Structure 1
C-alpha cells in the first residue's frame, strides 16, 4: 500500500527541506508527499512550525511558479503566492523527493478560488436570480475548463506522480466564506436551490440534454421567492424532484454530466503527461448529487477517486469504503485520507487498525491529513501505525 502525507508548501519553506522530508521519512515513514499546489483562503494553527503558529493563506494562490508562456492569452491564470517569495516549492520538493525515492503528488484546489471568482465574475456560478457565487468557478464555463487543463499541464514539469483534484465540481451555498451570514431560517430546499448554477453555459448544456433550462430556472426562482417570503414555507418539507414538474432533476443530472466530462478532460491531460488524476470526493456517496458528483460515471472517467476516511473506528472506515462499492467505485480504485490526530484517533493501534482495514479491502493508497496542522507526535503515530501493518 502506498502512503503519503498532505502538506502545504509553506510547511516546506518554513521548516526547510531537510527537516521537512526527514520528518516524513524518519518519523511518519511514508513513501510520498502530497503538496498543495493551488489552495483556497484559510487561517490555520500550526502546532510545530518553527517560525509561526498562526498563518493566513492567500485566496486562490498557486504555490509554484507558473509558466508565463502557458497562460499567455488565457482569461484565467494562476498567480504565485506572495508567501513563496522567489522560491519554487515544487521544484524544491521534486528534487528532495527524488533523492529520497519518494513520490510527489500535487494537491490542487481547482474551482474553489476566491481570487479568480472576484476578478472574473463572468466565470463564477450564477444562481436563479443572476447573482454570482464569487468564491467559485463554474465547471461549464469554457474559460474555466481551459484553466483546469492548464493547471494539470503545469504539474508535469515537476515530475508529479498524481494530481489530487479537489473542488473539481459545483459547490453548494454554504461551501464557506468568512463572515457568511444567514439570520432567517432558509431550510434545506432553499439552500439547495440557491446553490444551483443557471449561467449561460450551464443552461446551454442542459438544453443539449433535452432539458427546458429556462423553464427550470423560472420555477426555481419562484420556489426560492416563496420560501424566502414565508418562514413556514421555508421549513416546509418537500422534494427537489417535484420542482419544475420533475425537470429540475434532469437539470441537475446535466450538471453532473458537465462535471464528469471536465474530470475526464483533466484525467486525459494528466495521462498524456505521464501523471494520473484522483478525483477528491469529500462528502462520500449519496452527498454529491447537487454538486454534480456522479460517482458511477466518475469511476469510468478518472483512474481513482479519493475520499475522507475520517472516523473514530476501523469499522466505520470499512463502512465508508463499502458505501463506495455500492456506487460503482471498487476499493481498488480508491485512495483514502485518514486523520491521525486526537479528533479521530487516540493511539497508534487505532490508526494501525484503520490502515489494516484499508489494506484488507484492497485500497491501494492511504494519505494522512495534515503535516503542518498536526503535532509531531501525530507524525510518530503514523510511523508506528505503518510499522504495525507492514
Structure 2
C-alpha cells in the first residue's frame, strides 16, 4: 500500500496506431492495454507521417507501410470546405472511423483518449502545395513539411485541433509543430559529399515569403540574412575543408542571422499558443512534444521559455538506457523554466532502452519522485507483448 509520503504514480498511456486497433479488434487491443500494461489512457495517432514498421504481435501482418500525411479519423467536410490544406483519411482504415471506435470503447472501459497528432511533417500536403512548405536560402522547398509561418498552415493547425473535440479527446499530443531542418526527412536521402552539421543547419533555415515578412516586421533584415546565408553555403558546398569548419550563427555577421532564427521561433511559439487556445476552448489540453530537449531545438524554432508560457504542458522523449539520464533530461527542462509538474515523458519499454522490467520500473519511480504527472510508452504495435508486461510491472511497482 502506498503511504502518504509516497508521491502518486504518474498517469500512464500507451501510444498506438489506429491500424493496431483495427487489426487486433477492440477486445484484444484494449485488453492488452488494461490487463497487461495496466494504463488508464490510450494515445492514438490521428495524423501521421510516412513510415515502414515491423509489428511483432500483430495477428494480421508483420510489416506495414504508412501513407504519407494520412489522417486516421473521418474529417468533417463542413469544417474543411474551401480549404486547400485539409486532412485526407488513410486508405488503410477503409470505411471505418478508428477514432469513433476508440472513443466509444475507451469511454465504456473508463479510459481517457489522447490524440497523437503530427502537424507539420506532412509529405502529402507539402508535395501537393509546395508554396506552403519551407524554402531554403536558394528558394528550394522542403516538401516533407509545412511552414508554421504560412497563414494557410496556421489555419490548418487550428482546424485540425478542433476536429478532435468531436471524439471526446482529453489531450492532444502535438508532434511536429515546428520547423525540421534538412535531414527530417525523406526516403533515400543522399549526401555523397560530406556536408557537415553546420552546412545542414543553414540549409534548414526557412526563407519563404512569410518567414521573411515576419522577420522584417521584427526589425530583422531578412533579404540581407538570406544573402549572407547563400554566400556561406556556396563557400561550404564548394570545398570540403570549408564544409568542415565549425562556426556559430552569429559569426555570419553582426548577429542578424541569429536574430532571424529567433524571429522564426516566434512563429512557432505563436502557432503553438493558438493551437493550445483552440484546444482549451473545446475542453482539451495540448502538449507540445519537444523530443530533443533543451539545447537542441533552436534551429527548429523551439523556444522553451516562450513555449512554457504558450502551452500547458511540454512532452519529451525519455529514450535512454539509465534512469539517471531520464531524470537529467527532465531537470534540464527545469533549468529552462519548465518544471516537472508541467511535463510528460515518453519511455520505451523495449530492449533498445531497457535491460529488463526493473529498469523501466526504476525510471517510472524516478519520474514520480520528480513530480512528473504523466508518462507514456512507445509504442503499442512496435513492441513485443512481454514489453507490454514490463509496463504493467513498472506501474504496479
TM-score tier by shorter-chain length is: over 0.9
In the alignment, does 2:216 pair up with 1:207? yes
Select which of 49, 54, 64 maps to 1:40: 49
1:140 maps to which residue? 149
- The Cα shift of 1:245 comes to 2.5
State the SS of the aligned residue for 2:254.
Answer: helix
Aligned pair partner of 1:353 in 362, 371, 378:
362
The one of 270, 282, 288 aligned to 1:279: 288
Q: Are positions 1:269 and 2:269 aligned together?
A: no
Counterpart-to-counterpart distance in 1, 2:168 and 2:219:
43
In structure 2, distance between residues paired with 1:362 and 1:290 = 30
Distance 1:125 1:239 in 2: 22
- CA displacement at 1:188 relative to structure 2: 1.6
Deviation digits for residues 293-322 of structure 1 (CA, Å, limit 9, x no counterpart):
001110110000000001111111111110
In 2, the alpha carbon distance for the partners of 1:105 and 1:150 equals 17
Identify the residue that residue 53 of structure 1 maps to in structure 2: 62
The 3-state SS of whatever aligns with 1:115 is: helix
Question: Superposition pairs for residues 81-96 of structure 1, below 5 Å?
Answer: 81-96=90-105
> Does the CA contact (< 8 Å) of 1:6 and 1:36 recur in 2?
yes
Task: Give the structure 2 partner of residue 366 of structure 1.
Answer: 375
How far apart, CA to CA, are the structure 2 residues paired with 1:187 and 1:377?
41
In the TM superposition, what is the alpha-carbon distance from 1:6 to its structure 2 partner? 0.1
Equivalent residue runs for 1:116-127 within 5 Å: 116-127=125-136
Whole-Å separation in 2 of the counterparts to 1:311 and 1:50 = 30
Structure 1 partner of 2:176? 167
What does 1:174-185 align with in structure 2 at a 5 Å threshold? 174-185=183-194
Tell me whether 1:222 sits opposite 2:231 in the alignment.
yes
Partner of 2:314 in structure 1?
A: 305
Query: 2:3 maps to which residue?
Result: none
> How much does 1:189 deviate?
1.4
The 2-side partners of 1:129 and 1:297 are apart by 29
Deviations 1:304-355 (A, max 9, x none): 0000001111111111110110111100010000000001112211111100
Aligned with 1:325 (options 334, 347, 354): 334
- Alignment partners' CA distance in 1, 2:363 and 2:264: 35
How far apart are the structure 1 equivalents of 2:222 and 2:251? 15
1:225 and 1:47 mapped to 2: Cα distance? Answer: 46
- Can you give the 5+ residue segments of structure 1 that lack an aligned partner in the other structure? none
Q: Report if the CA contact (8 A) 1:149-1:265 is conserved.
A: yes
**Size of the alignment, in residue pairs?**
388
Q: 2: CA distance between counterparts of 1:259 and 1:238?
A: 25
How far the C-alpha of 1:244 sits from its partner, in A, is 3.4
Q: Which runs of 5 or more residues in structure 2 are unaligned? A: 1-9
Deviation track 1:86-128 (CA, whole Å, cap 9, x = no partner) reads 0000000000000111000000000000000000000000000
TM-score by length of 2: 0.97
CA distance in structure 2 between the aligned counterparts of 1:189 and 1:57, rounded to whole angstroms? 32
TM-score w.r.t. the length of structure 1 is 0.99
Is the 8 Å Cα contact of residues 113 and 136 (structure 1) preserved in structure 2?
yes
Q: Is the 8 A contact 1:220 1:244 kept in 2?
A: no
Distance 2:79 2:381 in 1: 31
Q: Is residue 121 of structure 2 the alignment partner of residue 112 of structure 1?
A: yes
